[in-house]
Structure 1
Amino acid sequence: MAKIVISENVSLDGVVEDPTGEEGFVHGGWFEQYMGNDRGAWAGVEYQEALGADALLLGRRSDEYFGTRWNAAKGEWPDRLNSLPKYVVSSTLVAPVWRNGVVLHGDAVAEVSKLKEEVQGEIVVYASRQLVRTLLEHDLVDELRLVVFPVILGSGERLFGETSKKTSLHLRDTRAVGEGLSILRYTVIR
């Protein structure tokens, strides 16, 4: 059975909206603004995570975003990401943008539950905040990996929205990434 891992870049107050500043959010662009000199350390963490992944799970918008940026990229990290199988949850998408993708049509919870049974190893979810919320709400998440950026944005879409229940977590690891970022790893307690 696969393990679903949520991997997100977040502000200290949990905002994930418009990290690159391309969506017009008033506080957009926080990813670059607060990356500082930590890009190499951050990229190292992300590359190691990609090496440990067996598949990626994305929403439609995240597939489009990553696919347009990574499909043509070259190097060890892009080659690893591009080679991974990708599963895109969408009710409207016909064909994924990011190579090696398959669209999961229909009920997202049923499709991801089935995927967890069929795939072995780690299925990593990047971005895809609506999908993340759905997966958490239906007890499909096994681990959270949050790279926390040193900024409180005060507004914007947060990773965690309102849910019908609590989700208990166990802190597995916390460490600095470079000089200003930190990574928090939690497992979901069932």
Structure 2
Amino acid sequence: MSTIAINMFVSLDGVAQAPGGPKEDVDGDFGHGGWTVPYFTEQVGDIVGPWHASAGALLLGRRTYDIFAAYWPHVPDGHEEAPMAKILNNVPKYVASRSKPSLTWENSSLLDGDVPAAVAELKRQDLGEVVVVGSLDLAQTLIANDLVDEYRLTVFPVVLGTGKRLFGDGAVPSGLELVSARTTDSGVVGCVYRPVGKPGYGSFEL
């Protein structure tokens, strides 16, 4: 059996859209692209790097796939990111897309047909950790279909007010167990959560 882990950058108000640059995702006239950059330090890299490096496979949406495929195959030997490039280039990469793109990055394949069913089939295989990086629309589909085993959230100290949120309408109600948390000097917090079933309820009423 495999596990599905979502690696996601989120703002304090839950926005996960276009963390890396102004043109990354402008849906809805989103004007805050690149909001993680002022806070991204070596300490942040020390948190998220191992999360990526643990991947037995990558599960990506088309937009994130194109960004990664334009960069990681071209990292030269000897570059400081070469060890990470070797991992990401070698692992299987599964891409969810409504179109039929030409997947030029080595070890890439398209998820055909129904994405939740295809991901459920991946979970039945022995792939280890199947890591979702970015790929917000895909992540929301996985959340809505209760397919996520672990959330690795890098929370940035910024409120954006608008934009696509990781946990939007249709998210399956779930209680979460905090597995670990690390903080950085720039105010970023890296948290790992695992679903533990339905949320509990109570009352403080007298």
| Pairwise CA distance, 1:167 | 2.0
Counterpart secondary structure, 1:57: strand
Whose strand fraction is larger, Structure 1's or Structure 2's?
1
* 1:156 match: 163
* 1:30 match: 35
Amino acid at match of 2:93: K
| Pairwise CA distance, 1:93 | 2.6
Whether the 8 Å CA contact 1:68–1:97 is kept in 2: the answer is no
Matched, 1:2 2:2: yes
| Cα distance in 1 for residues equivalent to 2:161 and 2:99 | 33
| Pairwise CA distance, 1:180 | 2.1
Amino acid at match of 2:91: L
| Cα distance in 1 for residues equivalent to 2:66 and 2:117 | 23
| Cα distance in 2 for residues equivalent to 1:127 and 1:97 | 19
* 1:72 match: 74
Root-mean-square deviation over aligned CA pairs: 1.6
Whether the 8 Å CA contact 1:55–1:85 is kept in 2: the answer is yes
* 2:203 match: none
Unaligned runs of 5+ in 2: 77-81, 198-206
Gap change, CA 1:13 and 1:115, over 3 Å in 2: same
Counterpart secondary structure, 1:7: strand
| Pairwise CA distance, 1:97 | 4.2
| Cα distance in 1 for residues equivalent to 2:179 and 2:195 | 10
| Pairwise CA distance, 1:71 | 1.8
Find runs of 4+ consecutive structure 1 residues off by over 3 angstroms: none
Q: 2:134 aligns with which of 100, 124, 127?
A: 127
Give the % identical residues. 39
The two structures have a TM-score, normalised by structure 1, of 0.91
Counterpart secondary structure, 1:17: coil
* 1:21 match: 22
| Cα distance in 1 for residues equivalent to 2:64 and 2:111 | 14
Unaligned runs of 5+ in 1: none
Instruction: Work out the number of aligned pairs and report it.
Output: 187
| Cα distance in 2 for residues equivalent to 1:76 and 1:82 | 10
Moved more, 17-26 or 151-160: 17-26
- Residues 33-182 of structure 1 aligned to structure 2 (within 5 Å): 33-35=38-40, 38=41, 40-74=42-76, 75-163=82-170, 165-182=172-189
Counterpart secondary structure, 2:181: strand
Q: Larger radius of gyration, structure 1 or 2?
A: 2
